[in-house]
Amino acid sequence: MAVESIPTIVAPDFAWRQERYRAPRHFIRDFLLRTLAFNILARVRAEGLHHVPEHGPAILIYNHTNAIDAVVVAGVVRPRFIVPMSKIENFSLPIFGQLMRLWGAFPVRRGQFDRMAIQFTIDLIQAGHLVLIAPEGTRQPALIRGKDGVAFTATRTGATIVPVGIDGTTAFTGNLKRLRRTPITLRFGRPFRFRQRAVPRDHLGPLTDAAMYQLAALLPEARRGYYRDFPQAPSDLIELL
């Protein structure tokens, strides 16, 4: 399928049609991931899962180092399901693209302020779902400065944000070629909200950085990158829950 046609997989009522994905999500998460992949391809350890709200609108933000990052998070979070945002090119990939459609992921165009992706994120949050977003917008071995989409969305919805630091997935491709299991650790941090609401777009940068510092605190020092000085992060912009 041509990339240009991908946006047709989402419709104005996308946020309200999430129930139709429940059965395939159970199959993908509980059988393909937790029963097969997590026993054959990887050893996944999750810390702080209790920080993920059991219900209600929320955003999970994570550091993006490998294509499988969102898949691992999808396999770990229970009992509710995440709704992941993914770059539009992924939907044209064989097998993986179809699994994303079955899961009910939605596309984002990288390198621009994608109004459609932002609107669907807002719609999902307002409908009470748990949305997964990589604030950096691209894969990097260490954190780069986050984009403002998460801050824009959260300040307009009041959504709870939960950071999750992922470590170990950078070795996955090499280990797969050597038929080795990859140890992967996920650390879920304390949820928080921004103290400000409806912030102008040109004032979102400090809020984005405040959220990214919360994420950096969950990562090994070598992966903190732009946010390596996280102990100096301002604390007056967020409210820990």
Q: What is the pLDDT of residues 171-210, one digit of tens each?
A: 999 999 999 999 999 999 999 999 988 888 888 999 999 9
pLDDT given for residue 167 in this prediction: 97
Catalogue the long-range contacts made by 87-95 (C-beta closer than 8 Å, 24 or more residues apart): 88/3, 88/6, 88/7, 89/3, 91/1, 91/3, 91/6, 91/9, 92/1, 92/2, 92/3, 92/6
What's the one-letter identity of residue 90? N
What distance separates the 2 farthest-apart alpha carbons in the chain? 50
d(CA 68, CA 93): 14
Q: What is the pLDDT of residues 34-84, one digit of tens each?
A: 999 999 999 999 999 999 999 999 999 999 999 999 999 999 999 999 999
The answer to whether the CB of 9 falls within 8 A of the CB of 101 is: yes
Domain range annotation of the chain: 47-240
User: Would you place residue 7 in the very low, low, confident or very high pLDDT band (cuts 50, 70, 90)?
Assistant: very low
pLDDT given for residue 10 in this prediction: 47
Within 10 angstroms of residue 19's Cβ, the number of other Cβ atoms is 8
Q: Is 159 helix (H, G, I), strand (E, B) or coil?
A: coil
Bond preceding residue 79 cis, omega within 30 of 0: yes
d(CA 237, CA 33): 37
Reply yes or no on whether the pLDDT at 114 is more than 90.
Answer: no
d(CA 183, CA 123): 35
pLDDT given for residue 3 in this prediction: 37
Q: What is the pLDDT of residues 122-145, one digit of tens each?
A: 999 999 999 999 999 889 999 999
Reply yes or no on whether the pLDDT at 12 is more than 60.
Answer: no
d(CA 197, CA 179): 49
Q: What is the pLDDT of residues 153-162, one digit of tens each?
A: 999 999 999 9
- Per DSSP, helices labelled H in the chain are 22-26, 38-40, 69-76, 96-103, 115-126, 149-157, 172-177, 205-216
Average pLDDT over residues 107-127: 84
Question: How many CA within 13 A on the CB side of residue 47?
Answer: 10
The residue to which tokens 């240009």 are assigned: 4
pLDDT given for residue 147 in this prediction: 92
User: Would you place residue 112 in the very low, low, confident or very high pLDDT band (cuts 50, 70, 90)?
Assistant: low
